[in-house]
Amino acid sequence: MATPPREGSAVVVGEKGCSLSSAAVYSVSRGLSKLFIDPVALKKLCQRKNQPSKPVSNTAVVQGCILTVEESRATLAVLLNKFVISEFPVRPVIPLLIQKTLVLAAGFETIDFGSSQAFLASLCRLNEERCHEIGVTEEEIAVLENSYASSIAVCALLDCCASALVRVSDAVAALSSEAARVDVSLFDLPVSDIGLTIKDESDVAASMKAFLYGSKLAGKLDSEPFAEIPEVHGTLREAVRVLHGRTRVELNTSVKSKKVVGSGIHGKESAFAASALRLAIAIQYMSEASYGRAELVVASVVGEELRSKVGEVFQKECHCIAALKNDVDSIKRASFNYVPLLHQVYDLLVKFREILAWEAALALFAIEVDESVEKAAVVPLESSKSEKKSEKKKKTTLGKGTSIVRQLLKERLSLEADASLENVMNLVRVAHYLAGAFDPKDSELDTLIGNLKEIVESNGGRRLPKILKGSRDFGKEQMAIRERAFSVIVGVFKKHGAVALDTPAFELRETLMGKYGEDSKLIYDLADQGGELCSLRYDLTVPFARYLAMNNINALKRYQIAKVYRRDNPSKGRYREFYQCDFDIAGQYELMEPDFEVVRVLTELLNELSIGDYEIKLNHRKLLDGMLEICGIPSEKFRTVCSSIDKLDKQTFEYVKKELVEDKGLTSEIAERIGDFVKKRGPPLEILSELTSEGSQFLGNSEAVVALDELKILFTALDKSKCLNRVVFDLSLARGLDYYTGVIFEAVFKGTTQVGSIAAGGRYDNLVGMFSGKAVPAVGVSLGIERVFTIMEQLEKDRNQVIRATETQVLVAILGKGLALAAELVSELWDAKIKAEFGLTKRVMNHITRAKQTGIPWMVIVGESELQDGVVKLKSIETYKEEVFQRDKIVEELQRRLGIN
């Protein structure tokens, strides 16, 4: 689930490489985020050469369409995005009016979305503008009438809320399973890879087993509401995924046709209706199953009197289940009245959320009052050994996952003073609070979902060894992406004449220390082995410098792709073990010659990896030092001040200023002077011109003058190489590593996947000399490939593309158990350089399913009849066409079709 931005954040439309998400629309609808047009996109709207046609003073008014406040705000967000990404020459006046409207505190329920004229009129009334002065053009009418904004907006709200409940519902069902003493073997489904189950169902079953692993409460209960969890929850997952895919596409698709939509059935809205109806049916099944589980949980409450009282409260307060089936029938009847239909599905989802909250509240209550369930993880210290043993015998334990779920939900309830589980009447308050906690508007929901995801991922159906935080395994699909990326990267490096180099994963500790400034604390130290203090390498640059010094090498252009290690706090795209891809040029060259090539290599890498929009922030270490000297900072504080400045990409200047004053000992006035400088960023030649203009303080500093002269040469070369447009001159870039001496740069991805910097580098003229005493100037770049993989994986998911993990061209399908026959035939294909696999089974559909699932394009089929006739069948998986060939001709035929000489 993409979680909504939190309160106070901003959603920007039109930013290059970014797209509008359901989570962002939801956040705007709830007033959690403000919506803005990207300044560059707004400038383009204002500068379009093709002028719009003459404003139309009036259009036919279609039936009025008044939405709820949240739906209106969501619709405005969608419309604003449609205008910004429009291919038509629309004017900026309406987008700016929409942006202005979204800032208002009230009045959204008065906006009429029934027609372009009604919409514009209601917007003008809200903003006290004169409608006839604004008007509306034919192109703008096309955007307003053909964007289906209301339908898309409500679907976005549905998508965000439904996605949030997918993993929560699994966790609540697992908690109910514990309370009702369910037979865990109900969830023993085979994995979907072998083709015997539906993937969503097997994934749900695996999640349930992960939550329930280690449970001692498992009983014999196998009632239908629990037995059907994989199927019912799997159906919800599938319906949510379909709706999400369609919504994601439609949110960011520009209007193509100028035809103004009138009344009738429209394809896009019909497709939305079909997706929503599918989700409504899935919600109905989920609600009925959740309610059924809740009833069984009530029946499991210990104590007849208490059980009766709990049941009475539940029946009285959770009454929305009664109307649920009628609601679904009503939705089916409204299947061509689109926005009301989608609104009804949203209401249905809210009811399901309430039922799910009741199930969770009852499960927590049933477990809490059951004295046979061990609730404390630690036995009291004052207990004797014998007492501890007897205590353990009396108590039964929850599963490792469900015990965490219970604790997470109880921690949430502690936020409400009276949400005590000891009091039956408090069940109403608890259920109400949990219903709110399961709504994406709750700022803690994304944390809860992240914790639930971690439980599932770290506690599989069979308890396997846990992987260390900050490291990861790579499955077959991920390896396919990695190998493709590495192939591109090595190709770029070799194109520039670099040679490969490899160095040990560990170095003497003295080799690494003193090279990374404050980041030296992140170096992994190893245990003492034979009197040598060793550490895992932090990067590939210091080992490269050590290699040059050891071997007395004065010049080398090298690349290295290898793992490095950092004792860091893991986060998305940030690991403790990860690959770096380094390209370095060492040796004496003409001024800025290698610097230019290294930056050029970086742009080629990021372009050919096709990850989307990015920028390369660039600065110069001598310019930084000159700036600090101008501000009156002593030279011994340069590096520590730079480490603070380098945080400006993640922190506000106020935060950095506080650190400079309180931790680094600068005066407030000096910190403010630094702020005036580091806020300068923009197109390289423009900023360079400003810094070298008459009166610039930098011209009075010798270090700064050297840096500016070098940057002028570099920018001119990059401009001639047609890659300067990717570079931003940024005086806040300070790169914390101690060994940089000249140009420094950092590449930042500008898409929706937030991963931070994806590459960095610079000039380090003195590093080799630290080892040998001999100066060998060098400049290099390091690509943070793990973060690039994160982006590439997300792009593959967004495109819904199947990733082929193998390059197999042919599947030899033996209809039987003839291994000798398979060995003979497949060996001939292997000897002919054909990539092939084989399988032995009498069921031809099993062979076909295998070929489809793994993307193998051709099958060679051999059964008894083919064997007797001395022929084989060649089947195309794409066309399903079969042809018969003589046994001794099949290799030649396959070589011809596959283009193998």
Amino acid 486: pLDDT: 92
Interatomic CA distance for residues 47 and 59, integer angstroms = 27
Q: How confident is the model at residue 596 (pLDDT cuts 50, 70, 90)?
A: very high
Q: Tell me which DSSP letter residue 753 carries.
A: S
Whether the CB-CB separation of 761 and 781 falls below 8 Å is answered with: yes
Q: What angle do CA 116, 119, 121 make, to 5 degrees?
A: 105
Residues in the chain: 901
φ/ψ bin of 662: left (φ > 0), alpha (ψ from -120 to 50), beta (otherwise): alpha
Q: How many Cβ atoms are within 10 Å of 680's Cβ, its own excluded? A: 14
Span of 270-274, 687-691, 885-889 with lowest mean pLDDT:
270-274
* 873-898: average pLDDT: 91
Residue 564 has pLDDT above 70, yes or no: yes
- With 0-12 CB in 10 A as exposed, 13-18 as middle and 19+ as buried, what is 532? exposed
Q: DSSP letters along 767-817, please?
A: HHHHHHSS---EEEEEE-HHHHHHHHHHHHHHHTPPPPS----EEEEESSS
Give the percent of the chain with pLDDT over 90: 31
633-662 pLDDT, tens digit per residue, is: 887 777 778 878 877 777 788 888 888 888
51 or 812, which is more confident? 812
Residue with tokens 């069979």: 462
- Which residue(s) pair with 500 in the sheet? 559
* 455-470: average pLDDT: 64
Residue 565 has pLDDT above 70, yes or no: yes
Side chain identity, residue 757: S
Residue 55 has pLDDT above 60, yes or no: no
**Residues sharing a CB contact under 8 Å with residue 818, sequence separation 6 or more, in sequence order:** 840, 862
Q: DSSP letters along 492-507, please?
A: HHHHTT-EE----SEE
252-264 pLDDT, tens digit per residue, is: 888 876 654 444 4
Amino acid 600: pLDDT: 96
Q: Tell me which DSSP letter residue 257 carries.
A: -
Amino acid 724: pLDDT: 95
Q: How confident is the model at residue 789 (pLDDT cuts 50, 70, 90)?
A: confident
Residue 197 has pLDDT above 70, yes or no: no
Amino acid 568: pLDDT: 79
Give the percent of the chain with pLDDT over 70: 87
Amino acid 379: pLDDT: 35
Q: What CA–CA distances, in Å, run from 768 to 648, 765, 774?
A: 30, 7, 7
Could you give phi then psi for residue 582, rounded to 5 degrees?
Answer: -105, 140
Amino acid 382: pLDDT: 37
88-97 pLDDT, tens digit per residue, is: 888 888 889 9
Whether the CB-CB separation of 602 and 747 falls below 8 Å is answered with: yes
Buried b (16+ CB within 10 A) or exposed e, 37-47: beeebbeebee
Between the two ends of the chain, the Cα-to-Cα distance in Å is 48
Interatomic CA distance for residues 138 and 130, integer angstroms = 19
Amino acid 304: pLDDT: 84
758-772 pLDDT, tens digit per residue, is: 899 999 998 888 888
Residue 215 has pLDDT above 70, yes or no: yes
Residue 880 has pLDDT above 50, yes or no: yes
Interatomic CA distance for residues 824 and 813, integer angstroms = 13
475-515 pLDDT, tens digit per residue, is: 787 888 888 889 999 999 999 999 999 999 999 888 888 77
Residue 802 has pLDDT above 80, yes or no: no
Amino acid 384: pLDDT: 37
* 428-438: average pLDDT: 88
Q: How confident is the model at residue 65 (pLDDT cuts 50, 70, 90)?
A: low
* 315-321: average pLDDT: 81
Amino acid 460: pLDDT: 52
372-423 pLDDT, tens digit per residue, is: 777 644 333 333 344 444 444 446 688 888 888 888 888 877 544 443 445 7
Q: Which of 54, 48, 36, 145 minimizes the C-alpha distance to 99?
A: 36
* 522-547: average pLDDT: 86
Strand, coil or helix: what is 838?
Answer: strand
723-759 pLDDT, tens digit per residue, is: 999 999 998 888 656 778 999 999 998 876 667 788 9
- With 0-12 CB in 10 A as exposed, 13-18 as middle and 19+ as buried, what is 821? middle
Amino acid 689: pLDDT: 93
Amino acid 227: pLDDT: 86
Amino acid 461: pLDDT: 43
Strands of 537-678, DSSP E: 556-565, 577-586, 614-620
Interatomic CA distance for residues 308 and 312, integer angstroms = 6
Q: With both helix axes pointing from N to C terminus, report the angle between 229-251 and 22-29 in degrees, rounded to the nearest 10.
A: 80
Q: How confident is the model at residue 206 (pLDDT cuts 50, 70, 90)?
A: confident
294-305 pLDDT, tens digit per residue, is: 999 898 888 888
Amino acid 717: pLDDT: 95
Amino acid 639: pLDDT: 77
What's the mean pLDDT when you consider all of the chain?
83
